[in-house]
A = this chain, B = another copy of it.
């Protein structure tokens, strides 16, 4: 493997500017091969102008072509084989099985969207036929279908170097309907990004699409981000990362002369509510399950359970004891990069000494700082203290969680009502608990995008029914998801055609239904042609 370190602008390598940076492996703090040049403003502009120029052809390409493009990306990623997995491991510190699993998810997402492109099942086509004799005025022929919005900027996430990065869910869900994509590679895994970026560029060429449908720029988000967000051709932004960075992008997009939508997934506390029956009958098993969910992958999932709310009562001591043992047994784990580890280390040290918190359990082994390790930490407080200290409700990205002990169900409600928007919210209970939990589920559905019963929030299914996104600050727009088939709805808009002859209608709206899709015709769902 040899890495060129350049940005990819519409299929062409571009030399870039300053600073030139290297990836550092969190596994041993060594500098990795490859000198990566930060993209210049001229390169960012070039990428977006090329995206804009490529848009009409990409928009008008048929579903089969877009499907083949997505499948060629999937094939190309698999063909990289161990080259990709090895580089991703060095850059992210994530273990090989996890990366192989993440690659599988990435490729499956691309193939899932390829299927949608091939089926043309995303148009939401609606047709109202004319009634020239209607009184008091004739009814016009009116037809409405979705179409892509134009160039989408995607910011790669550090914690999923494959599934939420260059060819991840944001990119796939933008490409599927014909939106060109410009990716800002995450600076923690520029080599992984380059490998995947080259695959996408090659797939575009192979599929006969204009090179401008994909570009990837290298560099720091604070430098390159504003150029991407402010460019007139940018029509939307997909982002996964911190609240601070997501807010900055949101504000930049909202302050444009023509504001554009930002789909920022900014993390979450993912509260878990333990009901009395579970605490009483399954304290140890539940503790083990939650400890694993909170510390797997060094707790670097946006769905990590960051707060566990239990009510005083039978089983709580056993639960706490089991949690303590489970956390003690978690080995310190390499985190994604030195910056994340330093922030985690500082936050967890501060919290370990917080007057309102006691320590339930922590990794018994010593962390190796050369291996960028973070130690697991579980702390405890009361609902009363939690409510008195708003700083305890901030997400800590890493293998950390807080047990909040309430005196009553009302206190549980009070704690939940202070949390703000969440990606997920979970309940553990036995049948008797759940029989009386409708009000609790109702409250959780107001604050979260996904409500889970007797399950952990980590592990996000990718299918038609997933909602990954919740009220602010979990994400910037709770009406959309960044995971699953519905993710494509972020990057389309409806257009109505009134009185148009057949030849001027998009295929989805023509009488003969050439795409053979389900349509709403005069209020009735049908795949029939219009006579």
Set B149, B261, B431, B453: member contacting A500, Cβ < 8 A:
B453
A494 to B465, CA, bound (A): 9
Q: Let me know if B479 and A494 touch, CB within 8 A.
A: yes
Judged by a CB distance under 8 angstroms, whether A441 is at the interface is: yes
A523 part of interface (Cβ distance < 8 Å): yes
Which of A101, A452, A467, A486 is most buried by chain B, counting CB atoms within 10 A of its CB?
Answer: A467
Question: Do the beta carbons of B149 and A421 come within 8 Å of each other?
Answer: no
Query: A451's closest neighbor in chain B, by CB?
Result: B497
CA gap between A519 and B139 in the complex, in Å = 30
Chain B residues contacting A518 (CB-CB under 8 Å) are 525
- Size class of A's contact patch? 35 or more
Which chain B positions have C-beta within 8 A of A442? 56, 60
Is there contact, CB below 8 Å, between B494 and A486?
yes
Residues of A that sit less than 8 Å from B by CB? 56, 60, 101, 126-128, 136-137, 139-140, 142-144, 147, 149-150, 250-251, 254-255, 258-259, 261, 420-421, 431, 434-435, 437-438, 441-442, 445-446, 448-455, 459, 461, 463-467, 471-473, 476-479, 481, 486, 492-501, 503-504, 518, 520, 523, 525
Knowing A445-B495, A454-B499 are in contact, say whether A465-B142 is a contact too (CB < 8 A). Answer: yes
Known: A56-B442, A496-B449. A464 touches B126 (CB 8 A): yes
Min Cβ gap A296→B in Å is 13
CB distance from A116 to the nearest CB of B (A): 10
Closest 9 CB pairs of A and B: A467-B496, A254-B254, A258-B472, A144-B465, A142-B465, A450-B496, A452-B498, A128-B465, A126-B465
A341 to B449, CA, bound (A): 47
Contact A455 B56 (CB under 8 A): no
Tell me the minimal C-beta distance from A139 to chain B in angstroms.
7
A-B contact pairs, 9 of them (CB 8 A): A56-B442, A126-B464, A126-B486, A254-B259, A438-B504, A449-B495, A451-B497, A451-B498, A453-B498
Q: Which of B441, B453, B496, B520 contacts A451 (CB 8 A)?
A: B496
A103 to B273: give the CA distance in the assembly, Å. Answer: 50
Given A259-B476, A421-B258, A461-B128, answer yes or no on A500-B441 (Cβ-Cβ < 8 Å): yes
Nearest B residue to A258, CB-CB: B472
Q: Which residues of chain B are within 8 angstroms of A421 by Cβ–Cβ distance?
A: 258
B504 with A453: CB separation less than 8 A:
yes
Number of copies of this chain in the oligomer? 2
- A265 CB to closest chain B CB (Å) equals 14
Query: Is the pair A434, B472 in contact by a Cβ cutoff of 8 Å?
Result: no
Instruction: Please state if A498 and B464 are interface contacts (CB–CB under 8 Å).
Output: no
Chain B residues in 8 Å Cβ range of A431: 501
Return chain B residues, CB-CB under 8 Å to A250: 254, 259
Instruction: List chain B residues, Cβ under 8 A from A453.
Output: 497-501, 504
Hey, which chain B residues are within 8 Å of A497, CB to CB? 445, 450-453
A494 to chain B: closest residue by CB: B467
Q: A496-B451, A499-B455 are in contact. Are A261 and B127 (CB under 8 A)?
A: no
With a CB–CB cut-off of 8 A, which chain B residues contact A523?
Answer: 464
Question: Given that A140-B455, A525-B525 are known contacts, is A471 also in contact with B261, CB under 8 Å in the complex?
Answer: no
Is the Cβ of A455 less than 8 Å from the Cβ of B254? no
Given contacts A465-B496, A471-B493, A479-B492, 17 further A-B contacts (CB under 8 A): A60-B442, A101-B136, A128-B465, A144-B467, A251-B254, A258-B473, A261-B477, A437-B504, A445-B497, A448-B495, A449-B496, A450-B495, A450-B497, A451-B498, A453-B497, A464-B523, A467-B495
CA distance A523 to B116 in the complex (A): 11
Q: Do the beta carbons of A494 and B258 come within 8 Å of each other?
A: no
Which chain B residues border A150 with CB–CB below 8 Å? 446
Residues of B within 8 A of A525 (CB): 518, 525
Determine if B56 and A459 form an interchain contact, defined as CB atoms under 8 angstroms apart. Answer: no
* A258 in contact with B471 given A144-B465, A434-B501, A504-B434 (CB within 8 Å): yes
Q: How far is the CA of A137 from the CA of B296 in the complex (A)?
A: 16
User: How close is A142's CB to chain B, nearest CB, in angstroms?
Assistant: 4
Which residues on the B side are within 8 Å of A259 (C-beta)?
Answer: 250, 254, 472, 476
B450-A498 in contact (CB<8A): yes
Q: Which residues of B contact A467 (CB under 8 A)?
A: 144, 494-496
Which residue of chain B is the closest to A260 with respect to CB atoms? B472
Which residues of chain B are within 8 angstroms of A503 by Cβ–Cβ distance?
A: 434-435, 438
**Complex CA distance for A467 and B438, rounded to whole angstroms:** 38
A34: shortest Cβ distance to chain B, in Å?
33
Contacts of A139 in B (CB 8 A): 461
- CB of A417 to closest CB in B, whole Å: 11
CB contacts (< 8 Å) of A500 on chain B: these are 441, 451, 453
Nearest-Cβ distance from residue A284 to partner chain B, whole angstroms: 21
A421-B421 Cα distance, complex, nearest whole Å: 32
Task: Give chain B residues whose Cβ lies under 8 Å from the Cβ of A435.
Answer: 503
- Please, how many angstroms separate the alpha-carbon atoms of A438 and B497 in the complex? 13
